Structure 1
Amino acid sequence: MSRPVILTCALTGGAALSGKNPAVPVTPAEIAQQAVDAAKAGATIAHIHVREPGTGAPSMRIDLYSEVVDRIRQADCGILINLTTGPGARFIPGNDDPRIGDPASTLAVWQKRVEHIEALRPDICSLDVGSMNFGQHVFINTPADLKKMAEAIRKVNVKPEMETFELGHIRLAKHLIEQGLIEAPPLFQICLGIPWGAPATPEVMMAMRNELPGGAEWAAFGIGAMQFPMVAQAVLLGGHVRVGLEDNLYLRRGMPAPHNAALVERAVTIIEQLDRNVASPGEARAILKLGQPEDVRFMPTAGA
């Protein structure tokens, strides 16, 4: 019998998306409610960014993360919580001096990027393994900072989900594993279609999967119109999947998704049509060797 497929829902992301689809959640209450609804639709994991409630701009405020996590834990829906560590890596060179960042840069010290992980101790957190041109800015994740972030994440017993956007990122991730910084089984997320990373094609997904170390768990996603084709491709190649408004705003061509749960429901249908089952949170914990959740639902968190 084939293993169940872990289904992640990436709820909101950090790009300016709410103006393109008003269903993108912004406030902590909206983000948490869409996580709960995604769980009811079949999602196993909620991947979470936070936004400034008044503007919808991406945020790194720990009080916003705390409120989202508290609301999800109090709902007791079982979904695994995956907090991003991606914010704080964006750099845009200044026009007058490229060594000095443009005001739109968000580059932050590595400690700032993991402080919410240390305080809130989610089940999983993303770890973007490598630097790249990311749209119109540079996404900076140096090997030295990644080592420090991985060490901090390991100390609080959180599973890092290593996000890889090209083959070189997998090489760097293997180096972190060889250094003993990543607990077994390593968890990879193959991210496809992001400008200017690896394209969302079956050939590229297979090539990246083939470079993963033995025993690794992996998932993959494509952005935009390639979201659902990449769901099917990942399942066929033996991986897990991710959907959500962070990566794609449409349920079908010309039809904006009304909420994240609708994207989850369509992914569940694809998985089941391929004669696979979606993993429950308990099954995902067993696959990823996470153990059982601690009783932290009503512990005071940072800023409380």
Structure 2
Amino acid sequence: MASKTLLTCAVTGNITTPDQTPHLPITPTQIANECLAAAEAGAAAVHIHVRDPQSGKPSMEVELYREVMDQVRRGNPELIINLTTGPGGRFIPSHDDPRVAAPGSTLVQPEKRVEHVRVLRPDICSLDLNTMNSGPDVVINTPRNVRIMAKIMREAGVKPELEIFDSGDIHLARDLIADGTLDGPGMWTFVTGVKYGFSSSPETLMYARSLLPAGAIWSAFGIGRFEFPYVALAYLNGGHVRVGMEDNIYLEKGVLAKSNAELVLKAKRIVQDLGGELANPREARAMLNLPARA
């Protein structure tokens, strides 16, 4: 296993709602403050979505991302910033004509989904490879669209984090590495517990890990009640870890986490109790071959 463990905190996400927890960060300042507090607690990287400050609903506005990034950079220049590119891939077919998008669909051109990455150039951004049922809807990431997004990421000098929801995603990513669309062996994250995707089981992790190219850097996380068991499971099997309110809002059964930092501190204790140590942002940058920051 790695000498030190990279912990990423996903602070707000796209699915968790303010109705579920009053502690969910919504405004750019709230999101940035949660990122900085998570770093103080032990996170070396933060995975960032943004939301409309008035409604609390997910947003793709470049200026909201800019505001969050600027505040995080001012508060902690070394912290690794990982921006999502997941929004813009959801499709809900209308009942009358399934070729027509129903209300709630977000599917847009791939260039739009990575506009903030092209403009702001974070350290890392997620790259989803899944086309799958996601709850009642469908998420669409065609090979063509993935190639377009990957090209823009490369031109911006941003490292893609390959988010893996099922085994077919790994096979697609390996094809993209083979043809030069992506650089290998890659940085991979197994997303488990999303309905109709990978289950949060030890067997899932063993299988997914077995499909990776030699030398790949990988992490894994579980949704909801599987969040903390998966911290232990990923660490013990040589991977890195992720927690945060994007994935889980509970510190323990029936107890809401009051902050992302609380989730990070619990994950840190789990890693340390198992004999591990978290990497700081500088160490994590070296691990991921990212440029150092003053």
SS of residue paired to 2:188? strand
Letter in 1 for 2:63: D
Conservation of the 8 A alpha-carbon contact between 1:34 and 1:259: yes
Q: Secondary structure at the match of 1:175?
A: helix
SS in 1 for 2:267: helix
Q: Structure 1: which amino acid aligns with 2:254?
A: G
Q: TM-score, normalised on structure 1?
A: 0.95
Paired residue type of 2:95: N
Aligned to 2:85: 85
In the alignment, what sits opposite 1:177? 177
The residue identity in structure 1 corresponding to 2:173 is A
For the pair 1:58 / 2:31, whether they are aligned, the reply is no
Q: Which residue of 1 aligns with 2:270?
A: 270
Per the alignment, residue 150 of structure 1 pairs with 150
Partner of 1:229: 229
Residue in 1 that maps onto 2:289: 289
Q: Which residue of 1 aligns with 2:5?
A: 5
Structure 1 range deviating more: 252-261 or 178-187: 178-187
Between the two proteins, what is the percent identity of the paired residues? Answer: 49
Give the secondary structure class of the aligned counterpart of 1:71: helix
Alpha-carbon distance, 1:291 to partner: 2.1
Match of 1:67 in 2: 67
- Which segments of 5 or more consecutive residues in structure 1 lack a partner in the other structure? 296-304
Name the residue aligned to 1:302: none
The residue number in structure 1 matching 2:119 is 119
Shift of 1:16: 4.2
Q: Report what 2:14 is aligned to.
A: 14
Report the equivalent of 1:129: 129
CA–CA separation in structure 1 for the residues paired with 2:195 and 2:224: 12
What is the root-mean-square deviation in Å for CA atoms of aligned residues?
1.2
Query: Which amino acid in 2 is paired with 1:150?
Result: A
Structure 2 equivalent of residue 196 of structure 1? 196
Q: Match of 2:191, SS? A: strand
Q: What secondary structure, in the 3-state scheme, does the structure 1 residue paired with 2:64 have?
A: helix
Q: Classify the secondary structure of the residue corresponding to 1:127.
A: strand
Contact 2:50 2:60 in 1 (8 A): yes
Name the CA shift for 1:16/1:220 in 2 (closer, same or farther; >3 Å): closer
Confirm or deny: 8 A CA contact 1:185 1:288 kept in the other structure. no
Stretches of structure 2 lacking an aligned partner (at least 5 in a row) = none
Amino acid of the structure 1 residue aligned with 2:71: R
Q: Secondary structure at the match of 1:102?
A: coil
- Does the Cα contact within 8 Å between 1:14 and 1:58 map onto a contact in 2? yes
